[in-house]
Amino acid sequence: MVHAKESQALDPSNVACPSPWMLVSMRLKDEHDQLTEELQDIRFVAQSIYDETDTKRARAILQALKRRMVDFMRRLHAHSEWEEREVFPVVNLYFHRLLKPSITPSIWVMEKEQKLADLFAQSFFEAEEALPEAATREQNRQAAAHLLQACLILQEHFELEEELIFPLAEQMLTDIDYFHS
């Protein structure tokens, strides 16, 4: 998601020496922006299958979408593994320090969303592979529907994560800045 208001907390020009957490937060935001932009583009192209009257062209578009989605899911999984190692443990510790409710249930929901999106992406891959060379317009649309569902789930996943994690990351940066001033 491209943010209308860029946070000053994530601007390294506002500090003499960026903290390790600032670098993690910047990477989180950058990767989210890149993944979200790619996801929106994949979704837009997948949606175009519904309007495509040339079934051979639609079939070629679905093949290209499959390649893009395989690459997207590879990058998403690498990003998620990094988050689980570097971001969520720190945020969870910070959250406990504030004596607020645990964010573990929200992280669990995000993990389940991603698994559900994985299932829809996999069903798209299988549907695309099963398409006959002379697929009908309806068959192409059905394959695209699996991909569109994966995109919608992932979009909601990113939105939830940004609403939950980004404000905490910024608060942590503000606290770090306050502590060092």
Predicted confidence band at 3 (pLDDT cuts at 50, 70, 90)? very low
**What integer pLDDT is reported at residue 90 of this predicted model?**
83
Calpha distance 23→157 (Å, rounded):
23
Query: How confident is the model over 34-47, as a mean pLDDT?
Result: 98
Per-residue pLDDT of 153-176, as tens digits, reads: 999 999 988 888 888 888 777 776
H helices of the chain, where? 20-48, 55-82, 88-97, 104-130, 137-180
Query: Minimum mean pLDDT among 15-24, 61-70, 93-102: which range?
Result: 93-102
Q: What span, in angstroms and rounded, lies between the C-alpha atoms of 84 and 70?
A: 21
Domain 18-81+103-180 part of CATH 3.40.1350: no
Region 71-97 average pLDDT: 88
Q: What is the mean pLDDT of the chain?
A: 86
- The pLDDT of residue 164: 83
Q: What is the pLDDT of residues 127-139, one digit of tens each?
A: 999 999 999 999 9
The residue with tokens 């991909």 is: 147
Percent of the chain with pLDDT over 70: 83
pLDDT in tens, 92-119: 777 766 555 666 777 788 889 999 999 9
pLDDT for the residue 121: 98
pLDDT at 4: 41
Residues 72, 39 contacting (CB under 8 angstroms): yes
d(CA 31, CA 138): 35
Tell whether pTM > 0.75.
yes
